[in-house]
Amino acid sequence: MLRMKRREFLKTSSLAGAGVLAANKAWSLNRLEPIGDTLAEEYPYRDWEDLYRREFTWDKIGKAAHCINCIGNCAFDIYVKDGIVIREEQLAKYPQINPNVPDANPRGCQKGSIHSAAMYEADRLRYPMKRVGERGEGKWQRMEWDDITEEIADKVIDIFEKYGPGKLMTHTGSGSQSMVRFAAPYRFASLVGGVQLDIFTDVGDLNTGAHLAYGNPLESFTSDGWFDADYIMMSMLNPSVTRIPDAHYLWEAKYNGARIVSVAPDYNPSSIHSDLWMPIKQGTDPFLAMSMVNVIIEEGLYKPDFVKEQTDLPVLVRTDNGKLLREADLVDGGSDQNFYHWDLNTGAPVMLRGTMASEEKTIALDGVDPALEGTFTVEGIEVTTVFEKVRAEAANYTPESTAKITGIAADTVRGEARHFSKAKKAILMLGFNVGRYSNGIYTGWAQALMLALTGHGGKTGGMDTSWVDWNHGAWLQLALYGFEKLPRLEPGGLGEFQRGHMIEHARKYYDADKLKERVGFNIDEMEEMINESIGEGWMPYNGDMKGLISIADNKFRRNKFVDKYRERILEEVEELFVDINVRMDSTAQWADYLLPAASHYEAWDLRGVGFHRFINVFSRPVEPIGEAKPDWDIMELLTRKIQERAIARGIEGYQDGDVTRDLHTIHDDYTMNQTLLTDYDATKWLVDNSPEMGGVSLEEAAERGFIVMNAKGGNNQPIPVDEPYRPFVAQTENKKPYDTLTGRVTFYCDHPTFEKLGAMVPTARHHAGSEASNFPLNYYSPHTRWGIHSNWRSNKFMLRLQRGEPNIYINPKLAAQKGITDGSKVRVFNSAGEFFAQAKFYPSLPLTSIMMEHGWEPHQYEQWKPMNNTMATLIQPLELAGGWGHLGFKLFKWNANQLAHESGVDVEPA
Ligand SMILES: Nc1nc2c(c(=O)[nH]1)N[C@H]1C(S)=C(S)[C@@H](COP(=O)(O)OP(=O)(O)OC[C@H]3O[C@@H](n4cnc5c(=O)[nH]c(N)nc54)[C@H](O)[C@@H]3O)O[C@H]1N2
Ligand SMILES: Nc1nc2c(c(=O)[nH]1)N[C@H]1C(S)=C(S)[C@@H](COP(=O)(O)OP(=O)(O)OC[C@H]3O[C@@H](n4cnc5c(=O)[nH]c(N)nc54)[C@H](O)[C@@H]3O)O[C@H]1N2
Ligand code: SF4
Ligand SMILES: [Mo]
């Protein structure tokens, strides 16, 4: 070969490579002959072409979606050959539900489309393993399933024996977004009373402002409901990147005449498709929303009829103490959940119907004409209306006065407020990012006020929160053991903050005075309010744990102050740390025991969350790799061993409050007396027992790949058969009360914490940001196009589409000031930590912020120093309020978020 000329070699080598594979036998290069015309008859190595032809042959096609936290939920055909998935393809067979609305096909994204490659990559967990070195040292020993689960079972029982129930955390993270994968560990947690954090708040995804206003942050549009809107403003949202399968409905709405506005500090990949980009200064959204409210009220753009019926704006408030006027104020033994309007028709107060205390489940006014404005006297008590309070607060936020804060000119605000108010159907889309700002609650609340004032609710628009809480009753029954026994459910952000001792780091990091000036409280006051909330029982917290079984959660990557958090948690769960995972992620790495789970294409399952009406089916197209097992089966085996060992050790139940934790029957209970032994059994049980799935058989559903939910799938109201789902139509059309204290959209909260922080009506506050720290730059970390958090981040196809290693985004002008060039290595730092990354120029970023997409695994960074070390965090005490109507701990609906964007940093060449 060495004697061959270079040109001759090039001519032959590519064919030779293919020939080797096709012939599947040893080949030595000295037998190569130069080939002339490759299409000629006598060309000897024609067979290689079959290799490519055979690429498009398969043994069978199965069905699956991806169960990760992408919010997408897309049905795929999975092509299998010789027991290996060779590729996947979007199913694209969803029916069009209405000829005037585009269909949902094809659903999918580039990550889902390369999973067949990722599932066989080197980080895949294939065998049960036990740590043999120190935690995190990376020394493992393979074990048999039987032995490893028996060892774990004994340790679980030891923890119960030593400490009683309540010391085992069995948290399932956001990687289990399908029904059976989710139900398995939750059912286990229900039986053992394990601690389970709220997954919305432990990642910072809860739109608490929406709950405060509507009593339900998860009543939203199906994505096809965007199509007929004529005004859409999106804030803190980047749907072209983070809602890939659904974003088309937005851009299709433009053909329908919609005006689309993007509010974002950077000209993000969704802003580029918008009619208007509002380059807002990071963290100032409540000021923009309040300035819009100001214009709407000052210019009389509001709709009194809608406001009077649907909102609490006409509810009476005492002028002496600022409290809502309650029945208890007027009548001995009166309820503190009954309130009043001032009826203009009779000139007298009337009690509201439809409140939490009211027997009458309607908000219809039936002849009452409540006053919006004025001051009145009721039995010697002077009262005014919520509307008066709101108007007075909004008067502080003229567009001229907020322009300096937000960077948005007054004229632009006025223009948009008018467009928005006059729209027939207006949607305010608020991304999940809103939950990761300490002032996100203010943003959500003020935007709900914009919508309510202008009559945008039900068929005329509303807030889009990217998630509809569907009515999957049987699923909850399965996951929560028929509600007979429950996990120890806990607020997510708060649980992480407390258990991770984050307050110590926050106290060191923030400048106390500056923090108070920015967010309205300092760390000591925050601590007091946290203690008050736990002490009053507004929010549950279960204290230190002794053991941790972590399922589908990358907690040692996603948390803030993350390395310090990890050290603290590992110290706490000294006795047991089991990780159930598909991959060796940055959390699995530190475990004592690793249990390998089946990936998306290797188990039976259903996926029914998201914001469309399709439940996608996973038909276990291939058997799990190595010795991996479906999550359901792992829990089946673990409960089997716990039951065996409990009986062998003579253990009966442990009393735990009102219930017993029956470890000696836990397998019978988990499997419904040996009926739900496998992933298939559990999937079939769900299909057979869920009315919203319409009586279809699992076989039929698996053949098709999806189930179209029927009307029963709606929680708040039926899903219309041939129309998009729109939030709160039952309230606007049928006058059903909202799930709030007053039964109406709420803009007045006289809870003591709201009073203390001066937030009784929608208003504006700053986030902490660089100003509350000693570092000059703001910092935010949105989600990446090329991964779902840490999933697929190291995949070769995805890495080729980016810079191939962790990178920050920086404005070239700021970079020049700092002596940083495009592609060079930088150090990002603050007093909480540091990390190294490549600089990528991004001219639309403000000079005051740097951006970095989150989700890189710590081991992808130099020295394994991850970005989340520089992420300082705190708790928003308003989100801890309880004992007040609809404010009180509610899973996925009301509790405190973990905040991501509250820190300042600096950057320098490295
Ligand atoms: N490809 C992909 N899709 C995903 C995910 C993923 O990791 N990858 N993750 C899923 C999950 S779990 C989530 S929570 C969502 C998150 O997705 P989104 O809800 O879209 O939220 P982010 O990506 O965090 O941020 C969106 C945008 O907010 C803007 N932004 C940042 N700060 C501010 C601000 O102060 N004001 C305003 N108005 N805008 C601001 C930035 O322009 C940023 O691009 O995505 C889901 N979809
Ligand atoms: N700085 C910063 N930090 C953030 C955010 C941010 O914007 N900025 N965003 C936050 C948000 S919104 C989110 S949602 C979180 C997400 O953060 P993580 O919790 O880190 O999310 P994932 O990376 O999806 O981790 C889920 C894990 O589940 C595992 N898994 C996948 N499928 C299965 C399965 O079938 N069975 C089992 N047993 N395991 C499985 C995967 O290996 C994966 O590691 O990050 C949060 N952290
Ligand atoms: S990863 Fe999510 S969004 Fe992407 S194709 Fe799969 S289910 Fe759809
Ligand atoms: Mo998220």
**What is the pLDDT at residue 159?**
98
**Cα–Cα distance, 87 to 817 (Å, whole number):** 48
Atom of ligand 1 nearest to the CA of 278: 38
| Ligand 3 midpoint to CA 245 (Å) | 8
Of 551, 590, 552, nearest to 573 by C-alpha is: 590
Give 142's strand partners. 129
Domains of the chain, earliest start first = 6-53 (no CATH), 129-204+470-490+543-713 (3.40.50.740), 774-871 (2.40.40.20)
Q: How confident is the model over 340-356, as a mean pLDDT?
A: 98
- CB of 854 within 6 A of ligand 2: the answer is yes
**Cα–Cα distance, 23 to 31 (Å, whole number):** 14
**What is the pLDDT at residue 23?**
42
SS3 14: helix
- CB of 155 within 6 A of ligand 2: the answer is no
pLDDT tier at 17, thresholds 50, 70, 90: very low
Place of tokens 């039976």: 604
Secondary structure (H, E, C), 816-883: HHHCCCCCCEEEEEECCEEEEEEEEECCCCCCCEEECCCCCCHHHCHHHCCHHHCCCCCCCHHHHCCC
| Ligand 4 midpoint to CA 487 (Å) | 22
Atom of ligand 1 nearest to the CA of 238: 20
Angle at 472 between CA 468 and CA 476, to 5 degrees: 115
Atom of ligand 2 nearest to the CA of 791: 23
Angle at 68 between CA 64 and CA 73, to 5 degrees: 50
Q: Is the pLDDT of residue 725 over 60?
A: yes
| Ligand 2 midpoint to CA 118 (Å) | 16
pLDDT tier at 10, thresholds 50, 70, 90: very low
Residues ≥6 apart with Cβ < 8 Å to 25: none
Nearest ligand to the CA atom of 899: 2
| Ligand 1 midpoint to CA 851 (Å) | 12
Other beta carbons within 10 Å of 429: 27
**What is the pLDDT at residue 179?**
98
| Ligand 1 midpoint to CA 782 (Å) | 5
**Cα–Cα distance, 800 to 243 (Å, whole number):** 21
Q: What residue's CA is closest to ligand 1, atom 2? A: 242
Q: Is the pLDDT of residue 40 over 90?
A: no
For residues 823 and 839, the answer to whether their CB atoms sit within 8 Å is: yes
Ligand 4 is an ion; its neighbours by CB within 5 Å are 203, 205
Q: What residue's CA is closest to ligand 1, atom 24? A: 782
Phi, psi of 8 (to 5 degrees): -65, -40
- CB of 218 within 6 A of ligand 2: the answer is no
HSE-up (13 A, CA, CB side) for residue 853: 23
Atom of ligand 2 nearest to the CA of 788: 24
- CB of 311 within 6 A of ligand 2: the answer is no
**What is the pLDDT at residue 685?**
98
- CB of 868 within 6 A of ligand 2: the answer is yes
**What is the pLDDT at residue 27?**
46
Structure tokens at 429: 């889309």
Q: What residue's CA is closest to ligand 3, atom 3? A: 72
β-pairing, 807-810 vs 60-64, is unpaired
**Cα–Cα distance, 705 to 690 (Å, whole number):** 17
| pLDDT tens-digit readout, 225-259 | 999 999 999 999 999 999 999 999 999 999 989 99
Atom of ligand 3 nearest to the CA of 245: 3
**Cα–Cα distance, 135 to 479 (Å, whole number):** 31
Q: Is the pLDDT of residue 8 over 80?
A: no
For residues 627 and 147, the answer to whether their CB atoms sit within 8 Å is: no
- CB of 902 within 6 A of ligand 2: the answer is no
Of 97, 245, 208, nearest to 725 by C-alpha is: 97
| pLDDT tens-digit readout, 513-565 | 999 999 999 999 999 999 999 999 999 999 999 999 999 999 999 999 999 99
Atom of ligand 2 nearest to the CA of 433: 7
pLDDT tier at 610, thresholds 50, 70, 90: confident
pLDDT tier at 22, thresholds 50, 70, 90: very low
Phi, psi of 492 (to 5 degrees): -70, -60
In this structure, the residues whose C-beta lies within 6 A of any atom of ligand 3 are 65-66, 68, 70, 72-74, 107-109, 111-112, 244-245, 788
Helix, strand, coil abundance in the chain, percent, nearest 5: 35, 15, 45
Nearest ligand to the CA atom of 90: 3
Of 560, 564, 408, nearest to 902 by C-alpha is: 560
Spell out the long-range contacts of 518-525 with Cβ–Cβ below 8 A and sequence spacing 24 or more.
518/765, 518/766, 518/767, 518/768, 518/769, 518/771, 518/772, 519/438, 519/439, 519/765, 519/766, 519/767, 519/768, 519/772, 519/874, 519/876, 520/757, 520/758, 520/759, 520/765, 521/757, 521/877, 523/874, 525/877
pLDDT tier at 33, thresholds 50, 70, 90: low
Atom of ligand 1 nearest to the CA of 789: 7
Among the residue ranges 3-7, 86-90, 236-240, 350-354, the one predicted with the least confidence is 3-7
**Cα–Cα distance, 294 to 284 (Å, whole number):** 16
User: Across the chain, what does the average pLDDT equal?
Assistant: 95
Q: What residue's CA is closest to ligand 3, atom 7? A: 73
For residues 775 and 906, the answer to whether their CB atoms sit within 8 Å is: yes
Q: Is the pLDDT of residue 13 over 60?
A: no
Of 211, 92, 199, nearest to 789 by C-alpha is: 199
Phi, psi of 245 (to 5 degrees): -70, -15
- CB of 858 within 6 A of ligand 2: the answer is no
| pLDDT tens-digit readout, 189-205 | 999 999 999 999 999 99
In this structure, the residues whose C-beta lies within 6 A of any atom of ligand 1 are 69-71, 205, 235-238, 241-242, 263-266, 268, 280, 282-283, 285, 431-433, 780, 782-785, 787-789, 855
Q: What residue's CA is closest to ligand 2, atom 40? A: 552
Mutate to test the pocket of ligand 3, among 71, 94, 244 (most ligand atoms within 8 A of CB): 244
Question: pLDDT above 90 covers what percent of the chain?
Answer: 93
Give 825's strand partners. 838
Phi, psi of 828 (to 5 degrees): -105, 135
Residues ≥6 apart with Cβ < 8 Å to 623: 83, 602
Q: How confident is the model over 260-286, as a mean pLDDT?
A: 98
| Ligand 4 midpoint to CA 433 (Å) | 8
Q: What residue's CA is closest to ligand 3, atom 6? A: 112
- CB of 583 within 6 A of ligand 2: the answer is yes
Nearest ligand to the CA atom of 631: 2
Structure tokens at 102: 């585009």
| Ligand 4 midpoint to CA 305 (Å) | 37
Q: Is the pLDDT of residue 7 over 60?
A: no
Structure tokens at 699: 């076989």
**Cα–Cα distance, 569 to 440 (Å, whole number):** 28
| Ligand 1 midpoint to CA 689 (Å) | 36
**What is the pLDDT at residue 124?**
97
**Cα–Cα distance, 704 to 645 (Å, whole number):** 43
| pLDDT tens-digit readout, 766-818 | 999 999 999 999 999 999 999 999 999 999 999 999 999 999 999 999 999 99
Q: Is the pLDDT of residue 1 over 70?
A: no
Q: How confident is the model over 290-310, as a mean pLDDT?
A: 98
Q: Would you state the torsion angle of the CA atoms of residues 124, 125, 131, 134, taken in this order, to the nearest 10 degrees?
A: 20
Q: What is the DSSP letter of 463?
A: E
**Cα–Cα distance, 568 to 12 (Å, whole number):** 60
**What is the pLDDT at residue 15?**
41
Atom of ligand 1 nearest to the CA of 435: 14
**Cα–Cα distance, 891 to 879 (Å, whole number):** 13
Q: What is the b/e burial string over 122-150, where b = at least 16 CB atoms within 10 angstroms of the residue's CB?
A: eebbebbbbbeeeeeeeebeebebeebbb
| Ligand 3 midpoint to CA 387 (Å) | 44
Q: What is the pTM of this model?
A: 0.95
Q: What is the DSSP letter of 413?
A: H
| Ligand 1 midpoint to CA 872 (Å) | 19
> Exposed/middle/buried for 330, CB within 10 Å: 0-12, 13-18, 19+?
middle
| Ligand 1 midpoint to CA 560 (Å) | 17
- CB of 669 within 6 A of ligand 2: the answer is no
Nearest ligand to the CA atom of 844: 1
Atom of ligand 3 nearest to the CA of 244: 3
Place of tokens 């700002």: 437
Cis amide leading into 106 (omega within 30): yes
Q: Would you state the torsion angle of the CA atoms of residues 110, 112, 113, 119, taken in this order, to the nearest 10 degrees?
A: 120
| Ligand 2 midpoint to CA 560 (Å) | 13
